Amino acid sequence: MDAAIQQKVDQWLNGNYDAETKAGIQKLAVENADELADAFYKNLEFGTGGLRGIMGIGTNRMNKYTVGMATQGYANYLKKCFDKVSVAIAHDCRNNSRNFAEIAAGVFAANGIKVYLFEALRPTPELSYTIRTLGCQGGVVLTASHNPKEYNGYKAYWNDGSQLVPPHDKNVIIEVEKIASVDDVKWTGGEENIEMLGKAMDEKYLEMVKGLSIYPDVCAAQNNLKIVYTSIHGTGIILVPDALKRFGFTNINIVEEQATPDGNFPTVVYPNPEETEAMSIGLAKAKALDADILLGTDPDADRVAIGVKNHKGQWVLLNGNQTAMIAFNYMMEARKAKGIAQPNDMVVKTIVTTNMIDKIAAANNVNCYSVLTGFKWIAELIREKEGKENYIIGGEESFGLMIGDKVRDKDAISAVALCCEMAAYEKNKGRSLFDKLIDLYLQYGFYKESLVNITKKGMNGAKEIAAMMEGYRSNPPQQLDGKPVAQLLDYELQVGKNLLTGESWKINLPKSNVLQFILEDGTSISARPSGTEPKIKFYFSVNTKLNSAAEFDATEKILDDSIERIVAEMGLK
C-alpha cells in the first residue's frame, strides 16, 4: 500500500476511534486491500456544497468522524462571522442520516451554538424555509439527494436559506481543512442548546406553499383531478399529500409500494425521479387508474418528475426542461391573466437549461437571467436583485423548481402542488398539460434536449474526467452535425469566443468548469463534471420550427436524429 495511505490507516488504528471502526479497518486490510486504499487515499472533500460520498470507514467516506470534523470546521466559521449563532438541521430517509444529524447537532451544541433539530426526517426545502423563518445563521441537511443507497451527504446552508456561495463556501472549506484530527472536535457538552422541531414548523411551511396558488378557484373546480404520487421511499410523503389537500385536491392516489421511507430504496435501482425505472411503478398505477397526472419526488424531496398522457394517449415522463418551461410559462401567463404581474418580475434559470425559457420570458416582458448550475446561484441573484426586481420562479433542467422566494433551494413540495394546479387549469379548459406543451412549441419553436452521463469511478475517475475537459478546452470541435461551431464559451476561463471571427468577450459569472459549444443554428452542447457524483455530463439542445401539431412526431424525430449524430461525432456513444 502507498506509504501516505498507510499512514492515514495507522492514524485511525492508533487514534481515538471506536473499536468497531478499528476492527472494520483490520477486516478490510485482510479481505479487500483495494477497497481499504480507496477509503483512505484522500480526505472526503468538503466541496462548495458540503460533503457527499459513499458511507463507510475511512477518510474518503461518509461516517460519524468525517461528519463531526466537517461540522467543527463549519461551526468555527459561523462563530467567526456572527456574535450569536443558531443553526437548523434536517435529514432525509437514508441509512445513517438520523445518526449523522444527531452527531452534527451535538458538535454544534458543544460549541455553544443553538441548534433546531427536526424530530424526524423532513424534506430539504423545509430546512431552507426554517433557516429563514427562525433567523438562523446557518443550517445543515443530511442527504445525498438522488444518489444510490450507499451514498450520504451533508449540505451546508447560510443565513438566507441557500447553500453556501463565495466567499463563504471557500472560507468554510479552509476552516474544515484546519481540523486535523478527531481530537480537534468538540463532540459532547451543551446538549441543552438543542431544541426539537416538528409539526408547528410543518404547518408554517405548508401554509406558505398554499399561498403560492394562483388559481385556487380552478383547483376547487377541478378538485377531483386524478393525481398519482410517489415519494420513492423518501421524505416527500411527510408533506406532499397535505400540500395537495391544501390546494383543494381530493383525489390523491399514493403509490403505496414506495410510500414507506426506506434508505435501502427496495423497489428501485436508483432513487432518482429523472430515471424512468424509478417511476415505473407510478406509471403503471397512473395508467391503471387513467389518472390526469403522475408526480414523483426524490429522497429529500427537492426534485420533481411529471408523467402525463401525450397526444396519442400514451403515458410519458416529461424531461426537466419541459417541466421547467411549462412551469415558467404558467407563472408568467397566470400572473398576467390574474392582474398580479409586476413590471419588475424576473425569472432565473441555469446556463444548461433550455433557452426556450428566454424566448417565453421575452414574449411576456419578463427579465430572464441565466446563472451557473445550482440553486445557490439562483438564491444569490435574488439577494442581488432584492428591492429592485421581483423574483417569481427559478429552475434547472435537473428536475428542480423554486417558486417564490420564501425557500432558497429547489422545492419539490411546492412544485408538485403547482404542477397539479397547472394540470387542473388545462383540464378546466378541456385540455391536458401535453396539449399545452405542443402549443408552446408551436408558438416559440420546438426545443429538444438530451443528457448524456459518463461515469468514471475510483481514484482514476477524476483524472479521466479532467483529461476529457482539457481535451475539449484545448481542441474544441470545429463542426458538429454538418454545422460550424460558432462559439466556445469557457466558464472556467470566463471567456467567450466566436470561433468564426476570432472575437472574444468576458463572461460575467463566477468561475465554473463548464464548456459550451454553440453551433451556427443555435444548437448548444454543454460539458461539465458533476459536483456531486463521479460523472461528466453532456447537455444537448437542438431546435427547429414546429409548423403544426400534426407534425409533432416527425419534427421530434428530426431533432432526436440530430442529437444522435452529435453524440456519435463527439465519441460519447
Same domain, 274 and 402: yes
Task: Single out the residue in 157, 173, 197 at which a domain terminates.
Answer: 197
- Residue among 271, 176, 192, 197 nearest 233 (CA): 271
- Residue among 471, 468, 502, 516 nearest 372 (CA): 516
What is the pLDDT, as a whole number, of residue 532? 64
What is the pLDDT, as a whole number, of residue 463? 85
Cell of 250: 381530493
* CA–CA distance, 526 with 537 (Å, rounded to integer): 8
State the chain's maximal CA–CA distance in angstroms.
72
Cell of 197: 422541531
Same domain, 213 and 252: yes
Same domain, 439 and 490: no
Same domain, 413 and 495: no
* CA–CA distance, 255 with 269 (Å, rounded to integer): 17
What is the pLDDT, as a whole number, of residue 359? 97
Give the chain's length: 573
Unique residue bearing C-alpha cell 439527494: 145
* CA–CA distance, 38 with 30 (Å, rounded to integer): 15
Question: Which CATH number is 66's domain given?
Answer: 3.40.120.10
Report CA-CA distances (Å) from 482 to 35, 445, 451, 519.
46, 21, 21, 10
* CA–CA distance, 318 with 371 (Å, rounded to integer): 23
Same domain, 154 and 167: yes
In what order do the strands lie in the sheet containing 86-91?
Answer: 50-54, 151-158, 138-142, 86-91, 114-118, 194-197
Q: Would residue 145 show up in a list of annotated catalytic residues for this protein? A: yes
Same domain, 284 and 416: yes
Same domain, 185 and 303: no
Which DSSP helix (H) or strand (E) runs through 435? helix 433-444
Orientation angle between helical segments 33-40 and 19-31, nearest 10 degrees: 130
Same domain, 390 and 288: yes
Question: Which CATH number is 457's domain given?
Answer: 3.30.310
Q: Using an 8 Å Cβ cutoff, are 514 and 370 in contact?
A: no
Same domain, 404 and 282: yes
DSSP bridge pairs for 455: 535
Q: Using an 8 Å Cβ cutoff, are 44 and 63 in contact?
A: no
Cell of 572: 460519447
Chain centre distance of CA 3? 38
Total number of domains constituting the chain: 4
| 316: amino acid identity, one letter | V
| CB < 8 Å & 24+ apart, contacts of 238-241 | 238/121, 238/122, 238/123, 238/202, 238/301, 239/122, 239/123, 239/126, 239/202, 239/205, 239/206, 239/301, 239/413, 240/295, 240/297, 240/301, 240/412, 240/413, 240/416, 240/417
Same domain, 166 and 213: no
* CA–CA distance, 561 with 283 (Å, rounded to integer): 26
pLDDT along the chain (573 residues), means of 10: 91 96 95 94 86 95 97 98 98 98 98 98 98 98 94 97 94 94 96 98 98 98 98 98 98 98 96 95 98 98 98 96 98 97 98 96 98 95 97 96 97 98 98 97 97 83 88 92 95 95 95 95 93 84 97 98 96 85
Cell of 280: 415505473
Same domain, 26 and 151: no
Task: Single out the residue in 401, 421, 444 at which a domain terminates.
Answer: 444
* CA–CA distance, 435 with 442 (Å, rounded to integer): 11
What is the pLDDT, as a whole number, of residue 530? 81
Task: Single out the residue in 197, 219, 238 at which a domain terminates.
Answer: 197
Task: List the domain range (segments joined by +) for residue 424.
Answer: 205-444
* CA–CA distance, 275 with 352 (Å, rounded to integer): 19
Catalytic member of 86, 97, 128, 145: 145
Same domain, 377 and 246: yes
* CA–CA distance, 483 with 324 (Å, rounded to integer): 28
| 481: amino acid identity, one letter | D
Q: Is the pTM of this model over 0.85?
A: yes
Supply the DSSP string of 65-126, one letter for each residue: HHHHHHHHHHHHHHHHH-SS-EEEEEE-SSTTHHHHHHHHHHHHHHTT-EEEEESS---HHH
